[in-house]
Structure 1
Amino acid sequence: MTRALIVIDVQESFRARPLWETTSDLKIADQVNRLVRLSRQAGDLVVWVLHSEPGAGDVFDPALGHVRLMEELERADGEPLIHKTSHNAFTTTNLQQLLTARGIRELTVCGIRTEQCVETTTRVASDLGYQVTFVIDATATNPIPHRDAPADQSVADLLADPRTLPAEEVIRRTEYALAGRFATISTIDQLEAAAGLQA
C-alpha cells in the first residue's frame, strides 16, 4: 500500500449552514462513497478528516454536534479519523506522520470545499513531495461572495449579487490552478475506467 484517499470535511457541519442549499453538489456524499469503494477495492488506505473549531460556537464547534461524517458515509474499522483546525489537513494533525509510517507517497483527495480545504491540502501535500490526484467531481463548494460584500449577507443577496463568483466557476478555476502544478486532475469515471471497472 503506497496510496491513500484523503476524504476532507464531508461533514454535517455544512448541512447545518444556510449556505448548504447553494452547494455545487448536494449529493457529494454519494460521489465520495463511490471513490471510497474504489480505493478500498484497490487496497488503498482511506483517511477521514473533519474540520473542528472548539469554542467557536458555530457549526464547526464539536460541542454543537455537527462535526461528524455525513450520515451516508461509512467509515470502516481501522480507517483513521483525524480532526484538523487549519484549512489544510497537515498543519494541525499527525497526517504526515501517519502516511510516512505506512510508506504512502501517493494521495487521492476529495471533499468540501473544493477551493478551500481540499485545494489547500493538495498544495501542501505537493510541497511535501506527495503525488496528488485531485478528484474534481468528488469535491463540492459554494458561491463565493465579493470581498466587499457584507459579512452578514443573506443567501438570497449572495445569489443576487452580480459580483458573486458562482460555485461552478470556483471549481473550474481550482482545476486550472492545480493541474500540472500541484496535482493531476481526474474524475471518478476516469479512475474507475483506469481500474477496469467500466466498459
Structure 2
Amino acid sequence: MKRALVVIDVQESFRQRPDWELASDPDVADKVAVLVDAARARDELVIWVLHTEPGSGTVFDPESGHVRLMAGLVPADDEPVLRKTAHNAFTTTNLQQLLTVAGIGSLAVCGIRTEQCCETTARLASDLGYAVEFVIDGTATTPTPHRDAPDDLSDPRTLRVEDIIARTEYALAGRFATITTVAEFAGAPVAGVR
C-alpha cells in the first residue's frame, strides 16, 4: 500500500500569534523536515497544506503575507501545496482526488494544531478508508482556554499542551489512527507500506 505524508499548517501564521511562545514544540518545523526527508528518501508523496481565511484580516488571511511554510520547509517541484479554509485537509481541497490518482491508501499526518486540523484530518481520512499514522511528536499545539474563561490562559480551566496531546493520542489510537513518532517514521518503512 502506498503512503503519503500530509504536512498540515506548518506555517508562519502560527508564529505570529501571541500564544506561539507557549506552543508544545515551537521548533516543530525541524521535526517535520525530518519526516519530509524520510518520506522523500522512500519515494513517498509529500502533500503540503496551508490554512487560509481570506478576507479575515488575521494572520491566516493570505493578504497578511504569513500564509507560507515556516523557514526550512520547501516543497519539491512535484509536491502539491493545497490551501484549505476548513479544519480538515479534505473538505475544501482536492486532497482526496490527489490521493486517489496517486494510488495512496495510507497517510502519515503531522503539523499544527495537534487536536484541531491534524486530528480532524486523521479522523476524516480514517472514515474515508485510509490507513492513518499520526506522528504525535511531529505535531504542535498551544494551550486552549475554557469556553467560559476570560481571554486569559492563566485560568485554571485552561487545557495545557501536555493534556491536549495526551487526549489526542487516546482519542485516535486504535480507533482512527496508529500513533507513531518521528523516529519511528524516519527509521524504516512500515511493513506493507511503500
User: 1:35 aligns to what?
Assistant: 35
Q: Using the alignment, how far apart are the partners of 1:4 and 1:192 within structure 2?
A: 13
User: 1:177 aligns to what?
Assistant: 171
User: 1:163 aligns to what?
Assistant: 157
SS of residue matched to 2:104: coil
Q: Which moved more, 1:66-75 or 1:113-122?
A: 66-75
Unaligned 5+ residue runs, structure 1? Answer: none
- Provide Cα deviations, 1:37-71, integer angstroms capped at 9, x if missing partner: 01011110000000001000100000111000001
Q: Using the alignment, how far apart are the partners of 2:187 and 2:66 within structure 1?
A: 35
Total equivalences in the alignment: 190
Q: Using the alignment, how far apart are the partners of 1:32 and 1:9 within structure 2?
A: 11
**C-alpha contact (below 8 Å) 2:34/2:186 kept by paired residues:** no
**What's the TM-score, normalizing by structure 2?**
0.95
Shift of 1:192: 2.9
Letter in 2 for 1:94: N
Identity, in percent, stands at 67
Q: Which moved more, 1:128-137 or 1:71-80?
A: 71-80
Q: Using the alignment, how far apart are the partners of 1:109 and 1:163 within structure 2?
A: 29
**CA-atom RMSD in angstroms:** 1.2
Letter in 2 for 1:71: A
- Provide Cα deviations, 1:71-95, integer angstroms capped at 9, x if missing partner: 1212111100000000000000000
Shift of 1:194: 3.2
Q: Using the alignment, how far apart are the partners of 2:160 and 2:22 within structure 1?
A: 9
User: 1:144 aligns to what?
Assistant: 144
**C-alpha contact (below 8 Å) 2:107/2:130 kept by paired residues:** yes
Q: Using the alignment, how far apart are the partners of 1:50 and 1:112 within structure 2?
A: 10
SS of residue matched to 1:109: strand
Q: Using the alignment, how far apart are the partners of 1:192 and 1:85 within structure 2?
A: 30
Q: Using the alignment, how far apart are the partners of 1:46 and 1:60 within structure 2?
A: 22
Q: Using the alignment, how far apart are the partners of 1:44 and 1:115 within structure 2?
A: 25
Q: 5 Å matches for 1:1-199? A: 2-150=2-150, 153=151, 157-158=152-153, 160-195=154-189
Shift of 1:189: 1.3
Unaligned 5+ residue runs, structure 2? Answer: none
**What's the TM-score, normalizing by structure 1?**
0.93
Q: Using the alignment, how far apart are the partners of 1:104 and 1:95 within structure 2?
A: 11
SS of residue matched to 2:133: strand
Letter in 2 for 1:84: K
Shift of 1:144: 0.6
